[in-house]
Amino acid sequence: MVVQGEPHSLKVTLEEMIYHTRMVARGIRHSLLVADLPFMSYQISPQQALENAGRLIKEGGAHAVKLEGGQRSAPAVEAIAGADIPVMGHIGLTPQSVHRLGGFRVQRDASRLLDDALAVEQAGAFALVVECIPVDLAEQIRTSVKIPTIGIGAGAGCDGQILVTHDMLGLFGDLKPRFVKQYADIGAAIVEAVEAYCREVRDGRFPAMEHSFRA
């Protein structure tokens, strides 16, 4: 959404995810690189999920993969983890389910979400993203599972936190979820710099002699 300008993540392909993962893999030294399995790359069968997870590891250079869904995705998690590929789960607001959920909404079904968390853990996930759920429910999930929970819009009670880089740096202004804290306004700084560049080119002030070569 923040890179391609799409209203949701459903159009992203596996090939695009492999490409972006490969770019990140070149730049990291110590971080854990987790790549998302995109929509319809794991829902058809556990075998499909395993094959595509393998591509993200082998071709993309990921260390682990992430997929959305709780109980319904447990067989895929089990197949991938069974091949010694680390799997991260994702429950609560699952962006690939945006149409079924009726938009990007807070998820409050405590019984279902607890069952989802336990199912993903039992299937072999090493960690769990918990998105856009009430604070008390997020804490209940954290104390119910033995694997780390990573929150996004789920309060401070999780073991870790996520923010989209473009959101926290002010690079994307079209969608402003309540749970986002903007730590900088780099977007405004970029606009200001480009406008200054354009003015100087029009006025003939750039390039100046210090930016040019002499005979």
**pLDDT, tens only, 141-180:** 999 999 999 999 999 999 999 999 999 999 987 767 888 9
Give which of 117, 57, 114 is closest to 90, Cα–Cα.
117
Q: What is the pLDDT of residue 132?
A: 97
Q: Would you say how long the chain is, in residues? A: 215
**Biggest CA-to-CA distance, the chain:** 76
What mean pLDDT is predicted for residues 17-26? 98
Mean pLDDT score of the chain: 96
Q: What pLDDT does residue 173 have?
A: 74
pLDDT tens per residue across span 63-113: 999 999 999 999 999 999 999 999 999 999 999 999 999 999 999 999 999
- The number of helices, as runs of H, and strands, as runs of E, in the chain is 8, 6
Predicted local confidence at residue 178, as pLDDT:
84
With a CB cutoff of 8 Å and minimum separation 6, the contacts of 97 are: 68, 69
Within a 13 Å sphere around the CA of 18, how many CA atoms are in the beta-carbon half?
A: 13
> Is the omega angle on the peptide bond into residue 75 within 30 degrees of 0, that is, cis?
no
Confidence band (pLDDT; 50, 70, 90) for 14?
very high
Residues designated catalytic: 131
* Residue 209: CB atoms within 10 Å: 7
Contacts of 203 (CB under 8 A, 6+ apart): none
